[in-house]
Structure 1
Amino acid sequence: MFSKFFRKNASVAKQPQPSAQENASNAILTSKDINPRVNLHYGIPYTSSVMAFDPIQSLLAVGTLDGRIKVIGGDNIEGLLVSPKHFPFKYLEFLQNQGFLVSVSSENEIQVWDLEQRRMTSSLRWESSITAFSVIHGSSYMYVGDEYGMVYVVKYNAEEASLAPLPYYVPTSAIDEASGGSSSGQHSIVGVLPQPSSQGNRVLIAYDNGLLILWDVSEDKVVVVKGNKDLQLTGKIAVNSQEELSQEEPSDDEQLEKEISALCWTSGSGTVLAVGYVDGDIMLWNLSTSVPSKGNDVVKLQLSSDERRLPVIVLHWRPKRSRDDCSGQLFVYGGDAIGSEEVLTILNLDWSAGIGKLKCIGRTDITLGGSFADMVLFTSGASVNTSGMLVLTNPGQLHFYDSTCLSFLTSKEEKKFTVSPIEYPMAIPTAEPNMTAARLGLICVDGNLLKALSEKISAAKLRRVEVSGKSAWPLTGGIPSQFLEAEIYKVERVYIAGYQDGSVRIFDATCPTFSLYCVLGPEVKGTSIAGANAPVSALAFCSPKLTLAIGNELGTVRVLGIFL
């Protein structure tokens, strides 16, 4: 589709071709062939920093600072992808409903992962620094913006498992001509957002100096230009948590050309864009026309009246209703006074009377349980029965706020909340109590004994599900399955953990989503053992006999028949 959209550019980054030696098959066994590596990982990695969500297949991907990607989703999907180069990820996006995930590393390498095969299928090292990245919804095309103000298109071919740049680009000369300047090539791209409802034919390009361009790829021309000095603010709204909401007249010295740090669409038709700036301001731009219109062009939001404010790092939009194009919730991280408490801010906005008459109905600040890393919004789908927000904080904490919780927060008069969200379900505790010993055991029995064991473990897990009720966690990956059929289920592995309080927990480790089978206390019925509560220091598992030996720090050893 892009053959007629962009002009040819011979300087586009080329994918390096493998040498003949690299292509030659090597029959000699090397150290790489037997190099141990992690294929499964339990929980959320501590170094998690970025997330992506596929609303169609209900898949969540969590990228880390050391080149790993944890993928969880519906139907007990859970896996770990490990990049050969352990660099942080700058961007992470799904090729939605196609079974592929795209990552961009800090070394400017674009990587495509096959989720079914759980491996990287293609990679492309970009020659310049990638400063913006976006996947066109429903396609295998991607926009890449770089430090030199250029926007390119990259395509992934699933049949050939190849990732390659197309020989087309957005010309800076056309941008300079439309914007009345010659500086676009001197400023880096900070955002490339396909316009909603345009079928991929239009893309919003944001430059770090505040210039906003709506580019029509089907007509190869600029449609809308915003951010120039001659544009005037039509209003400024203070949404400080310490004072009443108020509308202020813009001052004469308002500077519109300033560095952009975040942006998102705030309308399904792609006519209103929210832009966050390094100085803490947020502006809502009307992009329905390229001609400035008094009272209907741009409005500024300020979260704090302090002169020194934090940059706006993250902006996300949640419409009030699925087809509502003029009201909803704007989620903001940043923009408050420097040194203020770390919060995630939710603004209730309405501009049904026009951008010039924007109303901020209310503000809510959610106090976070850790340092903010990333967030995603999602709606209910085939494998997700609720909508809400997932917030990732350091170190490795994933919290879920459902739609009911968000509605409750924004309906209250109080403006700051410390709520208890639903935490990522951790079946294996490593603290409180502290884990002191662990062992993975293979089940090496067969016949009636294996059948009886499988039925007993399935029944125990079913009872726990009935007691706890239906899980409110939106994705079933990472938590025990609720639909195990004891008649066909076979236990293959168990994970045994000993703790500081002398207790032992046994988990079914047949699937990546471990589930608790039973808890063994330190006491033995009818027998008094001195020091039974001492920390567990050693575990030994005998699979043929299905027995477990437990040793503690005081030298006591207990041998138990634990399953039947």
Structure 2
Amino acid sequence: MKKFRKVLDGLTTSSPAGVGGSSSCASAAGTPTAGPSPREIDVAETLTSESFQICKTVRHGFPCQPTALAFDPVQKLLAIGSRSGGVRILGRPGVDCYCQHESGAAVLQLQFLINEGALVTACADDTLHLWNLRQKRPAILHSLKFNRERITFCHLPFQSKWLYVGTERGNTHIANIESFILSGYVIMWNKAIELATKTHPGPVVHLSDSPKDEGKLLIGFESGTVVMWDLRAKKADFRIHYDEAIHSVSWHHEGKQFMCSHSDGSLTVWNLRNTARPVQVTFPHGKTQRDGRKESCKPILKVEYKMSRNSEPFVIFSGGLSYDKASRRPTLTIMHGKAITVLEMDHPIVEFMVLCDTPYPNEVQEPYAAVVLLEKDLVVVDLTQSNFPIFENPYPMDIHESPVTCTAYFADCPPDIIPVLYSIGAKHKKTGYSHKEWPVSGGTWTLGSQTYPEIILTGHADGTIKFWDATAMTLQMLYKLKTSKVFEKPKAVEGAGVPHSRLLCVVGISANLILYRFSKHDANTNITVSISMGISVFRYFEVITTPVWSDPSGHSPQPPPSPRSNTPDSARDSIPCLKVKDRTIRMPPGYQAELVVQLLWVDGEPPQPITSLDINSAYGLLALGNCNGLAVVDYIQRTVLLCMSTLELYGAADPFQRLTRSPRKSRQSTPDFCMRGLSNFYSDSKKRIRTSYQSKCCQGREGLKWRGGKEKCPDWEIIFNPSLSLIIQILHMKSIQSGIAICLLASRLLCFINQPIRIHVRNLHWAL
């Protein structure tokens, strides 16, 4: 990076003074220009790889091992803490910020300073941090370290300057949020409980202020003791003792009662007027036993008690299932009046919280959504509808929802392609999701540092292709293409695209190739199959065409007759690995299938997967290859221009030893399984072509001076360059035999393309 800065400094200060040029500093000060400094002389004229470095810009995907969750109801921002010390702040789609603690300690709890642009984090190293979110890059303003006690719970009341911190010893400390300094006020555990009680109440698991009196603090201990502490009088108003351990506490908005969740799967409701016993004890998922008692269930880890003006109260909790069934999925239970709804989750629940319209705890909350943080996902439930649908997550939380098998990156795309893809993809939303907007809508979306549009394509194991907008600071999914509309069971593994012509070529693992063309309109097409077979020394292909313009006569083009052997095993040959749908297919706006090329079974052997692919929209050509050979297809005329086997590429100069297989019935050796021709034109003109490439092959051999090597397999690739001339680029040229093979290929292409051909071998150029 230092060398790169030197180059930039040299460009700005390298103008000669004798011609009247001067630096901006000298002209501004009015002083004469000095001679060249040593800094200018040492500037390197060329940039090397050491002048650049790779650095992290943004992070995509779900936070690894999440641990905590917080929400700002005014700014509509969501914060997620992780075990590695990272904090992810999410807003509306496109708003994403990542912060990292230098210590790397796990984040135990998060607390927003509501509507103040600040965040408090409690880490596993017993340190509190105050983050400033009002600047471009969030930074830590203050830190507070606990040396003798371990932090277990924190609470920051709305519009309060006091932060309450509970510890593992059962003590409660109070810190000033502005100065981030501990006050001398400490609520000791032995003063909070009764003097007659000699046992330790356990760690502090809950802290909250009374909705009707900010001077009253409710302290919950793990052992089952709850204390209402008067901050002004410095004494306890009442104490509650319960036999089961407490996990969480939630207030009623009137401040007259609260609800506790316990380790036996029960919920207890306590009234402040009578704290001797709970007003209500319920086991939501417990079954009634013969003696009339409820059976114990799994612990209820957290409960939220929210009220609504126009409906029954909401009681939402996680856990609490019975022990009768093992390996049950994690659940979130929603009790709305007498109705109980159990939502099963795909991953364990880390944390959840209910989103309400008001930040004031003494008002009717009017809950509208519940955010559930899972170990590998983020789920938001719509509480305003009776069936409780979930919101469609706009964030790319799980890019590997289906394993990614290939990627493609396109920069400097046409500026209109991203809005078009987004509008098309928005029309294909999944059913069953909530129709309301995503509730986390805070922040302002801005473009990233890139001034050009960027698109990333990912191919997945389930046969889908996803288009991602990588221009901004986050990945935004634009469009999802399903290849299953053409095949019964496709599996996409490789793809290539031409963003300027809006063509997309996809290769499947079952030796098939699909060419897509982008369209803004619906299309009802009937895919017709056209099989063209060459002579027996070439591997079979199948070309499936989708007519974009229908024939005026209404008849579909008929496939040409194909020669077929009369052997008993011929019934297994000339069939593809996947069956193409033979009915009319409705294709929605977006990428629509235009051409399908398939490799067929030959002599009872399945085709080898396609390993190399490229497309050239200027010539209307496709090139594909595998370990047996390569082929060039004219996708405009629906014909095969060239089909060559690996054996033909080398001929007698093949430097590789190719052993034959053990004899099998109706099967041939390895050289006979090379790729077989697609078109009858190739078989008719084979003799004419062979005489033309022999002389050019000799010329190429004389012009190229490479040293031979002993590689196990040929290492070359065809790349079409969208320029005025066709270019064949050799990525790795290590033997003269490879040069002879490329000469043979180029000479054959000359028979079909009336354009000059250039062959690039690293830094060498050779033209035919």
Match of 1:231 in 2: none
What does residue range 428-447 of structure 1 map to in structure 2 within 5 Å? 430-431=399-400, 434-438=403-407, 443=412
| Residue 513 of structure 1 pairs with residue 474 of structure 2 | yes
Alignment partner of 1:202: what SS? strand
| Residue 156 of structure 1 pairs with residue 137 of structure 2 | no
| Residue 201 of structure 1 pairs with residue 197 of structure 2 | no
| Residue 393 of structure 1 pairs with residue 374 of structure 2 | yes
Cα distance in 2 between the residues matched to 1:315 and 1:88: 24
Give 5+ residue unaligned stretches, structure 1.
1-33, 228-255, 350-360, 410-419, 444-449
User: 1:182, CA displacement in angstroms?
Assistant: 4.4
| Contact persistence 1:68–1:86 (CA under 8 A) | yes
Aligned residue pair count: 439
Match of 1:408 in 2: 387
User: 1:97, CA displacement in angstroms?
Assistant: 0.9
Alignment partner of 2:180: what SS? strand
**Cα RMSD, aligned residues only:** 4.1
* Alignment TM-score, normalising by the size of structure 1: 0.66
What does residue range 202-221 of structure 1 map to in structure 2 within 5 Å? 202-221=216-235
Cα distance in 2 between the residues matched to 1:500 and 1:154: 52
Match of 2:247 in 1: 261
Match of 2:309 in 1: 321
| Contact persistence 1:313–1:334 (CA under 8 A) | yes
Match of 2:146 in 1: 126
What does residue range 35-114 of structure 1 map to in structure 2 within 5 Å? 38=56, 40-74=58-92, 76-114=94-132
What does residue range 270-349 of structure 1 map to in structure 2 within 5 Å? 270-287=255-272, 289=273, 292=276, 297-303=278-284, 304-305=286-287, 307-321=295-309, 328-338=313-323, 340=325, 341=328, 342-348=330-336
Partner AA of 1:275 in structure 2: C
Cα distance in 2 between the residues matched to 1:550 and 1:106: 56
Larger radius of gyration, structure 1 or 2?
A: 2
In structure 2, do the counterparts of structure 1 residues 186 and 206 end up closer, same or farther at CA, with 3 Å as the change threshold? closer
User: 1:490, CA displacement in angstroms?
Assistant: 5.0
| Contact persistence 2:58–2:474 (CA under 8 A) | no
Give 5+ residue unaligned stretches, structure 2.
1-51, 288-293, 360-365, 482-503, 507-513, 517-544, 546-594, 600-606, 628-715, 723-768
| Residue 145 of structure 1 pairs with residue 145 of structure 2 | no
User: 1:133, CA displacement in angstroms?
Assistant: 1.5
- State the percentage of identical aligned residues: 19
Cα distance in 2 between the residues matched to 1:87 and 1:464: 40
In structure 2, do the counterparts of structure 1 residues 505 and 259 end up closer, same or farther at CA, with 3 Å as the change threshold? closer
What does residue range 499-510 of structure 1 map to in structure 2 within 5 Å? 499=460, 505-510=466-471
User: 1:84, CA displacement in angstroms?
Assistant: 1.9
Alignment partner of 1:142: what SS? strand
User: 1:78, CA displacement in angstroms?
Assistant: 1.0
Cα distance in 2 between the residues matched to 1:530 and 1:362: 55
Question: What is the CA deviation profile of residues 26-85 of structure 1, one whole-angstrom value per residue up to 9, with x for unaligned ones?
Answer: xxxxxxxx9977552223224223211111110111222222222111373211122223
User: 1:379, CA displacement in angstroms?
Assistant: 2.9
Alignment partner of 2:394: what SS? coil
| Contact persistence 1:71–1:78 (CA under 8 A) | yes
| Contact persistence 1:87–1:106 (CA under 8 A) | yes
| Contact persistence 1:103–1:112 (CA under 8 A) | yes
Cα distance in 2 between the residues matched to 1:366 and 1:502: 29
Match for 2:452 among 488, 491, 502?
491
User: 1:172, CA displacement in angstroms?
Assistant: 4.3
Match for 2:419 among 458, 471, 490?
458
| Residue 370 of structure 1 pairs with residue 347 of structure 2 | yes
In structure 2, do the counterparts of structure 1 residues 163 and 403 end up closer, same or farther at CA, with 3 Å as the change threshold? same
Alignment partner of 1:461: what SS? helix
Question: What is the CA deviation profile of residues 329-386 of structure 1, one whole-angstrom value per residue up to 9, with x for unaligned ones?
Answer: 211222332354332222345xxxxxxxxxxx2433222222222212113589xx99
In structure 2, do the counterparts of structure 1 residues 558 and 212 end up closer, same or farther at CA, with 3 Å as the change threshold? same
Alignment partner of 1:404: what SS? coil
User: 1:284, CA displacement in angstroms?
Assistant: 0.8
Cα distance in 2 between the residues matched to 1:120 and 1:318: 33
Question: What is the CA deviation profile of residues 229-274 of structure 1, one whole-angstrom value per residue up to 9, with x for unaligned ones?
Answer: xxxxxxxxxxxxxxxxxxxxxxxxxxx3332122211x10222111
Alignment partner of 2:419: what SS? helix
In structure 2, do the counterparts of structure 1 residues 503 and 539 end up closer, same or farther at CA, with 3 Å as the change threshold? farther
Question: What is the CA deviation profile of residues 75-130 of structure 1, one whole-angstrom value per residue up to 9, with x for unaligned ones?
Answer: 73211122223333221221111111222122222222222432333322212111
Bigger relative CO (Cα 8 Å, ≥ 6 apart): 1
Which moves more between the two structures, 503-512 or 104-113? 503-512
Cα distance in 2 between the residues matched to 1:558 and 1:501: 28
| Residue 473 of structure 1 pairs with residue 438 of structure 2 | yes
In structure 2, do the counterparts of structure 1 residues 371 and 175 end up closer, same or farther at CA, with 3 Å as the change threshold? closer
Cα distance in 1 between the residues matched to 2:161 and 2:611: 52
Question: What is the CA deviation profile of residues 125-179 of structure 1, one whole-angstrom value per residue up to 9, with x for unaligned ones?
Answer: 212111221112123421111122211112232xxxx532222112445434xx3
Alignment partner of 2:174: what SS? strand
- Which has the larger share of strand? 1
User: 1:504, CA displacement in angstroms?
Assistant: 6.2
Partner AA of 1:192 in structure 2: L
In structure 2, do the counterparts of structure 1 residues 83 and 217 end up closer, same or farther at CA, with 3 Å as the change threshold? same
| Residue 135 of structure 1 pairs with residue 156 of structure 2 | yes
| Residue 224 of structure 1 pairs with residue 238 of structure 2 | yes
Partner AA of 1:343 in structure 2: T
In structure 2, do the counterparts of structure 1 residues 427 and 344 end up closer, same or farther at CA, with 3 Å as the change threshold? closer
Cα distance in 1 between the residues matched to 2:462 and 2:343: 35
User: 1:557, CA displacement in angstroms?
Assistant: 5.3
* Alignment TM-score, normalising by the size of structure 2: 0.50
Match of 1:166 in 2: 183
Partner AA of 1:166 in structure 2: S
| Residue 191 of structure 1 pairs with residue 211 of structure 2 | no
What does residue range 222-261 of structure 1 map to in structure 2 within 5 Å? 222-227=236-241, 256-261=242-247
Cα distance in 1 between the residues matched to 2:104 and 2:467: 33
What does residue range 14-25 of structure 1 map to in structure 2 within 5 Å? none
Cα distance in 1 between the residues matched to 2:269 and 2:138: 41
Cα distance in 2 between the residues matched to 1:550 and 1:125: 64
| Contact persistence 1:501–1:533 (CA under 8 A) | no
Cα distance in 2 between the residues matched to 1:560 and 1:502: 28
Partner AA of 1:52 in structure 2: A
Alignment partner of 1:313: what SS? strand
Partner AA of 2:86 in structure 1: R
Which moves more between the two structures, 423-432 or 504-513? 423-432
In structure 2, do the counterparts of structure 1 residues 61 and 36 end up closer, same or farther at CA, with 3 Å as the change threshold? farther
| Contact persistence 2:76–2:441 (CA under 8 A) | no
| Contact persistence 1:76–1:477 (CA under 8 A) | no
Partner AA of 2:219 in structure 1: I
User: 1:507, CA displacement in angstroms?
Assistant: 2.9
